[in-house]
Structure 1
Amino acid sequence: MNLDLPLNEYTYVAFDTETSGAYPVGYDVVEFGAVKWHKGQEVGRLQFLLKPREMMTEFIIGIHGITNEMVVDAPTMAEKIREVHEFFKGAIVMAHHAPFDLGFIAAEFEKAILPLPTEPALCTSLLSRKWIHGVENHKLQTLVKHLNLDGGQAHRAYDDAKSCLFVAQACFEKMGAEMTLSQAIKSQGKSLWWKDYSLLALNDTRFSNLKTAIYSKKDIDMIYSGGSKKGETRRITPIGIVRNPDGDYLQAFCHQEKVAKRYYLNRIGEVEVVY
């Protein structure tokens, strides 16, 4: 893909996910929203609720307001993922805190045996830090207020996706008409590609065991080459796997320390599922 055309030459899909928890593999998307934009026009949109594998907690419901009753008759992501894949085709995707959303959707694409898109992604959180100044923070709702945007209902997928698009447009305006996509990617400080969120790429037996344990809700005994108990076997309950530009990690509950913590994948040694 040619990344050196002016920004207005591309088709963009701004999208957002609301989820049943914070970590891919262990949790599910419960609402997906997206808006497609080309040369100043909205040319498509998607929005739907999705039924997760398990009931959501009151804490999670309090974040996005999507209740278990609202999704009880909703389709599963497996039923909608091909529609999402087709909607993304050929577009530059963008999301606010894009690594979070990319991680969940990439996992769903791979479960459905769909190829990951080859186009790069933009993160409006990162872009706004470079191009939008004079705000107390760069949360999406703070930027919506600062830019006097109609943000709709916060933490609902389609409204947040459209807000993300508007924030991107505000950044593009500050960049200037001659800015290319490659320059915009450089300005956000990190290159974000779908392939970097692949779980299938973690094809080592250790990581296969981690995924198996998460899906089957089993504990694991793991040797970890970090922390105060370096090199010792520890029993944990794995919660989710996060591919992250700053270091891929496993989120898990440590039985010894009685706390949830992250374990970086490059420090994980032998892994055994406890049956």
Structure 2
Amino acid sequence: MNLDLPLNEYTYVAFDTETSGAYPVGHDVVEFGAVKWYKGEEVGRLQFLFKPREPMTDFIIGIHGITNEMVADAPLITEKIREIHEFFKGAIVMAHHAPFDLGFMAIDFEKNQLPLLPEPALCTSLLSRKWIHGVENHKLQTLVRHLNIDGGQAHRAYDDAKACLHVGLACFAKMPPEMTLAGAIKSQGKNLWWKDYSLASLSAPQFKSIIEAIQTKKDVDMVYEGGSDRGSTRRVTPIGIVRNPDGDYLQAFCHKDQAAKRYYLNRISDAQVIWI
């Protein structure tokens, strides 16, 4: 697509996900909210609760306030994923800490044989670091207070999506009037594209084994070409896979160290599922 038009020439969809845990593949989206914006007006919105594969822990419920009872009769995300995909089509998406939300949604698109979208994404967390100053941090709720935005209920998907949109618009207002979308993307310091969050593109056998192990709750024997035991085989319980512009990684519990650890995918040379 043409990235050289003025910012007000594009349609934007700000969105947010609340999830059953921190890591894609192992955890699920339990709430999705989005608002569509074009030429200074809200032109659409979506909000859904979804039932996850497994009950949520008290820790996770404490973060977003969505209880297992609230989602007990909610649809599965597969029932609404095509509507969400259609809502995104042709729009520039924005999210606060966008890699997190892109990572979860890309997996559900691919699970349902939906193509990843060709448009770029904006991260309002990254944009705010460049364009909004005088705040103690760049958390969404801090920015909501600083900018006097009506943030609604924090950590609920539609309210956070709308807050994210207005943080993005506040960033746009601080940019030079001739700023293009390409310039805005450059100002956030990282290129964010849906394709970079694909699981299908992780076609090497070791990644397929890890994904299978997460889905079936099995351990793997993994060869990791990093750390103090470089090249040795270690047994881990995979938790989730994170596609990240700073380096894709596996979050897993290491049996030897009895600790949750991060393993960068480009250093995993082999992985075998333990079926016992």
TM-score, length basis structure 1: 0.99
1:53 aligns with 2:45: no
- Residue matched to 2:129: 129
In the aligned structure 1, how far is the partner of 2:56 from the partner of 2:112? 23
1:187 aligns with 2:187: yes
- Residue matched to 2:248: 248
1:220 aligns with 2:220: yes
- Residue matched to 1:113: 113
Partner of 2:90, secondary structure, is: coil
Partner of 1:251, secondary structure, is: strand
In the aligned structure 2, how far is the partner of 1:209 from the partner of 1:77? 24
In the aligned structure 2, how far is the partner of 1:46 from the partner of 1:88? 11
In the aligned structure 1, how far is the partner of 2:103 from the partner of 2:20? 14
The letter of the residue matching 2:91 is A
1:73 aligns with 2:60: no
The letter of the residue matching 1:106 is A
Shift of 1:177: 2.6
In the aligned structure 2, how far is the partner of 1:131 from the partner of 1:120? 19
The letter of the residue matching 1:101 is D
- Residue matched to 1:206: 206
Shift of 1:232: 1.0
The letter of the residue matching 1:102 is L
Partner of 2:84, secondary structure, is: helix
Q: Comparing 223-232 with 163-172, which one deviates more in the overlay?
A: 223-232
Q: Deviations over 1:71-122 (max 9, x none)?
A: 0000011111101000000000000000000000000000001000000000
Q: Deviations over 1:191-237 (max 9, x none)?
A: 10000000100011110101000000000000111111111111000
In the aligned structure 1, how far is the partner of 2:210 from the partner of 2:3? 36
- Residue matched to 1:92: 92
- Residue matched to 1:229: 229
The letter of the residue matching 2:258 is K
Structure 2: tracts of 5 or more residues without a match: none
Shift of 1:176: 3.0
Shift of 1:124: 0.1
1:257 aligns with 2:257: yes
What is the RMSD computed on CA atoms of the aligned residues? Answer: 0.5
TM-score, length basis structure 2: 0.99
Aligned residues: 275
Q: Deviations over 1:214-269 (max 9, x none)?
A: 00000000011111111111100000000000000000000010111110000001
The letter of the residue matching 1:152 is G
The letter of the residue matching 1:126 is L
